[in-house]
Amino acid sequence: SSRIFMVWFIAHSIKQIQNEESVILFLVVWTVTEITRYSFYTFNLLNHLPYFIKWARYNFFIILYPAGVAGELLTIYAALPYVKKTGMFSLRLPNKYNVSFDYYYFLIIVMFSYVPLFPQLYFHMLRQRRRVLHGEKSERLSH
User: With the C-alpha atoms ordered 27, 30, 36, 37, is the resulting torsion angle positive or negative?
Assistant: negative
Enter the DSSP assignment of 28.
H
121-131 burial, b at 16+ Cβ within 10 Å, e below that, comes to eeeeeeeebee
Picking from 6, 48, 59, the residue whose alpha carbon sits closest to that of residue 30 is 6
For residues 41 and 35, the answer to whether their CB atoms sit within 8 Å is no
**Catalytic residue ranges:** 65, 72
